[in-house]
Chains A and B, each alone.
Chain A
Amino acid sequence: MAAAKTRTSTFSRNLSTAPPSHGPGLKCGPNGTVFLSSGIPDLDKILGGGFPLGSLVMVMEDAEAPHHMLLLRNFMAQGLVLGQHLLYSSPARDPRGFLGTLPSPAASKDDKSRERDPDQEKGLRIAWQYKKYFGENQLDGQRDGKHEYSNEFDLRKPLERHFINGPRIDCVSIQDSDLSTLRDRCATFLSQFPRNDGSISCAGRIAIQSFCAPQCAYSNMEWDMLSFIRSLKSMVRSSNSVAIVTFPPSLLSPSFCKRWQHMADTLLSVKAIQDEDKELAQLLTGYQDMVGFLNVHKVARINTQVPVILEATTFSIKLQKRRYLVLECLNQAPVDGSSGTSYGTSGGCSSSSKTGNLDF
């Protein structure tokens, strides 16, 4: 509810009347931008709709927790489910292996039944969901008279193999390759989605994990890395795609870390939460469900000079029923039952915190 107020521009476009002549997974944002989903409905709402095409998202990793992987998984899975192209790059020897850990969509977002009857068997609905994405998904989307934009993902259910084995996915290991190779791969990838006025049929996603990881050969060449990010940003700007780069900031010198942060259009960071921290448990409601924190430092400001000021910038990352990733504003105890609203469940008000309370 709060997120709806984040964009208060005098010139923001009336979203309902904007002609949505875009492909699946895209929707119009303010100032002529087009959003694609982060794969986490809550995050989309916080950011005012999603990641704008042409933007560079940077995520500062926590050295002690793999929460950036959660963001990456959902971001990548969302793209694949919608039939968008993906370039994934990581310091692992075989980045393709990571694709096996991508989550599968749970239920359609507009289907509210999950809220009403969460324990219902989902198998049937998912099968129906799949049918939708076989080949002619665009047609289906049109026929329904609405556009598929984002899904909820069930982190315990792996993504169906046919999504992963498509020709749309390119994987690069950055462990041995040098930056110019990576730059060329990105350039080739992005050349599929040139930006020209008119409708956008297809969008691309680039996900680069742990870009400055120490096992990479270039990891001590700070200017070269910066130069790569700069050129990636300028390539992404002129294409219909979004790039996410995660990096461990502690491995960079402070001044370069700032440079990287300035480079980002959208800047996020994730933080681990201390286990069995009695004080924190008293202070925060729903501490038991939290796995970490997400901080929003900067929201992309494309085609506008007005900063997006969020009502809250720190959110707790919770795994609802160990399956669904939800983000919540931090609530300090004591709280009344109605607060602790998840961004994702604005209609079915705070099912998560309620169930959390019941579990005790």
Chain B
Amino acid sequence: MNQRSSNLLDEALGLDQVIEPWPLRGRVVAIEDQVETSGSFVLHHLLKRSLSPNSSNVTIFIAFSQPFSHYDRILRKLGCNLVSQRDNSRFFFFDMLKLQCPDGDEGITPEGGLIALYGKIHKTISALPEISWKNVSIIIDDLSLMEVAANGSSDYVLDFLHYCRTLTSEFDCSLITLNHEDIYSSEDRPTFFIQMEYLADILIKAEPLATGLATDVHGQLTVSNKGRNKVSNFHFKVKENVVECFYPGRS
């Protein structure tokens, strides 16, 4: 039953058929949301899928937004124990809540900031056995806070993201990011945001309904899967243990 209800999202992402080998390998997935409609549940869903017991995926979670306990509680309700996955070396949590890159260009050194973070990710992946490289997901929550940590230097963040992307071609792992669309919508030329859309192989937009929020429909998702040349759109309702997805009018 629960399996059924989240099928639309899984279908749109290509996760409905097989989960091993990881269908998102080598892909960049960008999730975009707004103040009214948070898209973090998509992150949780992907995290849950990638840590599902019948796959051998490894997830590297780079948290700028919430502490471990927050994700732990949420994932537990989704039926996934992050602590034990962490002990099994299938889940690596990088707490970046307090990361603050040194100011100015001289701050961009290999010892600190995002270069070091990249080095840490790279080291984590290369320490894994070779067969699990292509099953690694790197999840970043979220990019706008990363910009703040980089003192607003979006170029620095883009450089970092580029290096993360080289990991997708080097190890065939996947990169999943969350960002907030409405931050950039007032800008004339939101380079950072558009650049991310170009980088993404799969773009997931979470938006409120035109009619506002309701208790039985929390918003709508538009998933553009460039690789499979497919666009889908559906409504969703977030619950503690599952995300329900349905076509408009069929809740």
Contacts and interface: CB of A to CB of B under 8 A. Distances in A.
A202 interface: no
Interface in A94-152: none
B70 interface: yes
Interface stretch (A38-46, A65-73, A168-176, A295-303): A295-303
B35 A297 contact: yes
Contacts of B41: 305
A258 B145 contact: no
Given A258-B180, A305-B240, A231 B74 contact: no
Given A11-B77, A258-B35, A301-B38, A306 B186 contact: no
A254 B241 contact: no
Contacts of A267: 35
Interface of B: 35-38, 40-41, 44, 66-67, 69-70, 73-74, 77, 97-98, 100, 144-145, 148-149, 151-152, 180, 182-187, 213-215, 218, 238-241
Interface stretch (A154-162, A222-230, A283-291): A222-230
A304 interface: yes
Given A259-B144, A262-B183, A306-B239, A231 B98 contact: yes
8 contacts: A10-B239, A11-B241, A254-B186, A258-B186, A297-B36, A301-B38, A307-B238, A309-B215
A179 B36 CA distance: 29
Taking residues whose C-beta sits less than 8 angstroms from the other chain, chain A's interface range is 20 to 34
Contact of B184 (A8, A11, A255, A302): A255
Given A223-B151, A226-B148, A259-B183, A302 B240 contact: no
A254 to B, nearest CB: 4
A232 to B, nearest CB: 11
A255 B186 contact: yes
4 residue pairs, one from A and one from B, having the closest CB atoms: A254-B186, A223-B152, A234-B97, A303-B73
Nearest to B212: A313
A226 B149 CA distance: 9
Contacts of B100: 227, 231
Contacts of B180: 258-259, 262
B44 A305 contact: yes
Interface of A: 8-11, 31-32, 222-223, 226-227, 230-231, 234, 237-238, 253-255, 258-259, 261-262, 267, 297-298, 301-307, 309, 311
B35 A262 contact: yes
B101 to A, nearest CB: 10
Contacts of A237: 66-67, 97
B214 A230 contact: no
Nearest to A259: B183
A261 B152 CA distance: 17
Nearest to A234: B97
A309 B213 contact: yes
B74 A305 contact: yes
Contact of B69 (A254, A261, A303, A305): A303
A136 to B, nearest CB: 33
A259 B190 CA distance: 14
Given A305-B238, A307-B218, 19 more contacts: A8-B215, A10-B239, A11-B240, A11-B241, A227-B100, A227-B148, A230-B149, A237-B66, A253-B186, A255-B184, A259-B148, A297-B36, A302-B70, A303-B73, A304-B240, A305-B41, A306-B239, A309-B213, A309-B215
